[in-house]
Amino acid sequence: MSQDKLMMNRLFAICSMVVAVTLLCVPASIAADIQVAVSSDEAYVGFPITLQVRIDNASKHDPPVIDPVDGLEIQSMGAPSFSSFIGPGSSRTSSTYQWLVTPLREGTFTIPPIRVKADGISSITKVVRITATKSDAGDLLIAEVESRQDKVYVGEPIELSLKIYVKAYVNKEENIKLSDSTMWSFLSEQTQWGVFAEAIEQMTQNRMQPRGIEVIREDADGEDATYYRYQIDATLFPSRPGSVDLDGVKICFTYPMEIGQSKSRRGGRSSFESMLGDDLLFPGSLFGDSFFGGPRTTRQITKSMPLMVEPELDSIVAKQIPSKGQPKEFAGAVGRYVIETNASNTKVQAGDPVELTIRVRGTGQMETVAAPPLSLIDDLTDKFKVTDQPLAGQVDRNQKIFTTTIRPIDETVTEIPAIPFTYFDPDSGEYETSYSDPIAITVTPAEVLKLDRIARTAPATAEAKDSESKTRVQIDQPALNLAWRDTTLSKDSTGVSLINVIVPAIAFPPVVFLIGLLMRGFVGINRRSASEAKTLEKIKSADRSSEMSDAMNHYLARRWKVPTLDTADADPSTDRILGHLRSIGLHRYAVRVEQWMDQANRSRLTSESELESLRQSAMELVRDAKSQRKIPSSISATALFCFVAIVAGSPNVHASDSLTDSRAIVEQAESAYRDGDFVGSANLLKSIDSDQFKSSDVLVNLGNAWWQSGDTTMSKARSKASYLRALNVDPTDDIARANLLAIDGSNWLFQKVTSLPMRSVLIVAIAAWSALWLTLAIRLWTSAFPWRSIAACCLLVALFAGCVAALQFSAVWFPHHAVIVADEVQLRSGDGESFDIVQTIASASGQVVRWNATRPGWVEVTAKDGIQGWLPANKVEIISR
């Protein structure tokens, strides 16, 4: 017997080993499997299909490579996706690669076998064939481009209008008509806008879409049909002579051909209905009043058709501008233009810098307009030293603004001469010149001329700087931190600071506390569930309607915590229960309860069938009580949604095409600053687009450069404006705040409080605020700790730190304000010198005023005494918009 048992054990061991070896070897023996498939072997020209290659059971493999196919655009969809499956005795891993395959013309295309090397073995897939046909838009989609011009010059603007006609989907049998916004939502991603891309991008950024105007036009059968007309306007500037094209405009739609019925779940919305909205269909149609009711009929697209049209432009020919008679000052501007100039200071010493602002307004392409070449204007170079470098400008709607520095040679200079701007007028076909008005200035003699410090020129020699420093007028300067700050400009450089997280940090702790309250409320939910079960049991076993009424009163009073007038009463009266339900917003539910109570009072001596009907109605009311929500619950949900939206709505900053140029400007400005050319450094920093690169480092360096520029009447005001703009970008910039307070000369205590590191103050405030709410949250679960003392301490610290932070903000935060940068200004009733003077402000340099509106060359401001008026734009610097 023992020998038989020993043999059985050995046999069992051998079988187990064989099974184990088999299980281990089976996965390894499976060779890699390569499969290829397409989403459809029939496609439309211009509309992509998906090509997929799946590699199974390969420990390693090379990515598959698809050879180019003439007539097909094959684009990878990115990195492969991976999946794995492990089962009894088998396992499988898969790597899936996908491509978008877009036919470019009609025909049958063959994608050759794809070679894949997996686990050292090369395999090829089967051949894939695709048949592409051209989408026949017929009368469903029509696109036209209109222009009133047929001959233009190179650089002359062409006004274009793209009109897209989409036939409205109408189903008279089902009483359905899709709206213009719904039809536009069927626009395909394959659409190419060409010259209209900028207009569409601007609409997208503003979360807008073209408005469809309902028009009647004949269809292919010659009958009147309803179309939606969408119009997109654009301006085209031809850059070379010859025929003008639209740069490949292609309009693609996925047109709905059939809308069918489907059943949706209780309370849910179909994807199609979510897209259409509630009021899309005609009144009294599908969705009706039972939106939150039981199973209901909804609509969805059951058949669609891709459509594509390529609008053509009537022949427009661009002519080359004539070279005969072209003036030497011509810089390529085509259109009609006017030029204006403003000087920052009209009372200077010989050799002192004068900031000259040049504004060019016109009808052409302002981005390509170049500044007039100042070094070629003899009347200007005879009296002033000017830069011979091209000037960078900023486009503001229909004008371009250039800023440079000029220096009068001697005290005989009495005016800045008229600056000419030459352009080609396409209407007259001739070159014309516009002139600015001369600017009268007063120049007094200087001991040493300072002509070597001009923006964008070579730095001055050491001897000249030493001589200049001796003759420069000295002022009683406070102690400022004037060291150059390293500046970094990048794609996502918006001056990331602690201020960007203040709102989420303040809102998050109360939300955590709210979640704690909700979690604590789960216990109450369990109790209500038990109470519901007991009530249902009482109603089932009740033999009379009065017993059901008592059970309902007891349940509703406990469920909604109805207060009683007499503490001796076990339950409040029915009228009190109904009044409480209405007071918390459950009006419809209260009506149902009242109707049931009236029926129960009338049914005390009715038949058994009526009693059973009453019982079922009562049970339905009890079950529906779970879905009723008081008004505060919806408010809490709304608050939570708003918080999530605030946290998720962090700003995105896109890359700038001028990033490289801006970095180069910063390097030139730093070099000029370290060489003592402070005016040149300031002008370079001003040319950086501050709306695109919101860097407090640039603005602090700009303020330091203005302070050391040597212009005693302007440096303080321009420095103050620059520091305020830096604090508008990053209120936690301690250097900008300290320099600003030093300029303003605040009292000692105020300076000490406001000069505390704001980041540290904010961290303390947020930490104390979070600790306060955390203490309250813990209190929800236990009170076995001195929570009152801890909460009180946290509250005091949070209030103190918050008050300090608020004081720091108030000292430097001037939204929608500006700084006057001239000694004496005159407020006028309108935006021009011809308007009456409202008020004259003496010693105005450095005053902070509120600005209300801007117009070319002028800014409307409100002075400290509340008087409003207009100032020239060169006498005021806007802090924030």
Task: Identify the CA nearest to 586 among candidates 628, 623, 622.
Answer: 628
Any idea what DSSP says for residue 625? Answer: G
User: Where does residue 573 rank: exposed (0-12), middle (13-18), buried (19+ CB within 10 A)?
Assistant: middle
Contact 415, 440 (CB under 8 A): yes
Buried-exposed string 828-846: b where 16+ CB fall within 10 A, e elsewhere = beebeeeeeeeeebeebbb
User: What end-to-end distance do the CA atoms of the chain give, in Å?
Assistant: 101
CA 705 to chain centre: 34
Look up residue 327 and give its two tokens. 């003036």
Task: Identify the CA nearest to 514 among candidates 625, 360, 637.
Answer: 637
Contact 355, 402 (CB under 8 A): no
Contact 879, 724 (CB under 8 A): yes
Q: pLDDT of 151-168, one tens digit each?
A: 899 999 999 999 999 999
Look up residue 209 and give its two tokens. 């879409």
Distance CA 754, CA 808 (A): 5
Residue 641 has pLDDT above 60, yes or no: no
- Sequence-distant (≥ 6) Cβ neighbours of residue 530 within 8 angstroms: none
CA angle, 354 then 359 then 361, to 5°? 170
Residue 738 has pLDDT above 80, yes or no: no
CA 279 to chain centre: 29
Q: pLDDT of 398-427, one tens digit each?
A: 899 999 999 999 899 999 999 999 999 998
* 337-343/354-362 β-pairing: antiparallel
Residue 446 has pLDDT above 90, yes or no: no
SS3 assignment, position 528: helix
Look up residue 753 and give its two tokens. 């409080």
SS3 assignment, position 85: strand
Q: What is the DSSP string of 345-400?
A: -SEEETT--EEEEEEEEESS-GGGPPPP-GGG-HHHHTTEE---SPPPEEEETTEE
Which sign, positive or negative, has the C-alpha torsion 420, 423, 428, 430? positive
Look up residue 864 and give its two tokens. 């400290």
Containing H/E element for 529? helix 502-541
Q: What is the 3-state secondary structure (H, E, C) of 660-716?
A: HHHHHHHHHHHHHHHCCCHHHHHHHHHCCCCCCCCCHHHHHHHHHHHHCCCCCCCHH
Bridge partners of 160, per DSSP, are 234
Distance CA 336, CA 364 (A): 7
- Name the residue type at position 294: G
Bridge partners of 115, per DSSP, are 124
* 158-167/420-425 β-pairing: unpaired
- Sequence-distant (≥ 6) Cβ neighbours of residue 591 within 8 angstroms: none
Residue 619 has pLDDT above 70, yes or no: yes
Task: Identify the CA nearest to 333 among candidates 436, 424, 397.
Answer: 424
Q: Average pLDDT of 334-350?
A: 91
- Name the residue type at position 676: G
Place of tokens 């980041």: 759
Look up residue 184 and give its two tokens. 């536009």
Bridge partners of 176, per DSSP, are 171
Q: Average pLDDT of 524-534?
A: 65
In whole numbers, what is the pLDDT of the chain averaged over residues? 76
* Cα dihedral 598→600→606→607 (10° resolution): 130
- Name the residue type at position 36: V
- Name the residue type at position 42: E
Distance CA 86, CA 23 (A): 12
pLDDT at position 740, please?
Answer: 72
Distance CA 534, CA 528 (A): 10
- Sequence-distant (≥ 6) Cβ neighbours of residue 877 within 8 angstroms: 717, 718, 721, 725, 818, 819, 821
Q: Average pLDDT of 29-51?
A: 82
Task: Identify the CA nearest to 540 among candidates 551, 556, 554, 530.
Answer: 551
Look up residue 420 and give its two tokens. 């000419």
Look up residue 119 and give its two tokens. 């686990």
Contact 822, 863 (CB under 8 A): no
* 393-396/439-440 β-pairing: unpaired
Please report, rounded to a whole number, the percentage of residues in the chain having pLDDT higher than 70.
73
Contact 378, 398 (CB under 8 A): no
Most confident of 28-32, 247-251, 709-713: 247-251
Any idea what DSSP says for residue 17? Answer: H
Contact 250, 312 (CB under 8 A): no
CA angle, 342 then 347 then 350, to 5°? 105
Question: Can you say whether residue 344 is alpha, beta or left, with left for phi > 0 and alpha for psi between -120 and 50 degrees?
Answer: alpha
SS3 assignment, position 282: coil
Residue 223 has pLDDT above 70, yes or no: yes
Task: Identify the CA nearest to 472 among candidates 661, 259, 709.
Answer: 709
- Name the residue type at position 106: E
Residue 266 has pLDDT above 50, yes or no: no
Q: pLDDT of 531-586, one tens digit each?
A: 778 888 888 888 888 888 888 888 888 877 777 655 445 567 777 888 877 777 77
Q: pLDDT band for position 35 (50/70/90)?
A: confident
Q: pLDDT band for position 91 (50/70/90)?
A: low
Higher model confidence: residue 256 or residue 719? 256
Distance CA 758, CA 722 (A): 19
- Name the residue type at position 342: N
SS3 assignment, position 31: coil
Look up residue 749 and give its two tokens. 């205590």
Place of tokens 């009266």: 573
Contact 386, 406 (CB under 8 A): yes
The sheet carrying 876-878 orders its strands as 837-841, 825-828, 868-872, 858-862, 848-855, 817-820, 876-878
Look up residue 695 and give its two tokens. 């860097």
Q: pLDDT of 7-26, one tens digit each?
A: 555 555 555 554 454 444 44
* 399-408/825-828 β-pairing: unpaired
* Long-range CB pairs of 240-243, under 8 A, 24+ apart, other chains included: 240/154, 240/318, 241/154, 241/318, 241/319, 241/320, 242/317, 242/318, 243/315, 243/316, 243/317, 243/318
- What's the number of CA atoms in the CB half-sphere (13 Å) around residue 758? 25
Q: pLDDT of 362-400, one tens digit each?
A: 988 888 899 998 888 988 999 999 988 888 888 888 899
Q: How far is CA 650 from CA 647, 653, 748, in A?
A: 7, 10, 38
Residue 142 has pLDDT above 90, yes or no: yes
Task: Identify the CA nearest to 471 among candidates 344, 293, 350.
Answer: 350
Distance CA 735, CA 744 (A): 14
pLDDT at position 704, please?
Answer: 81
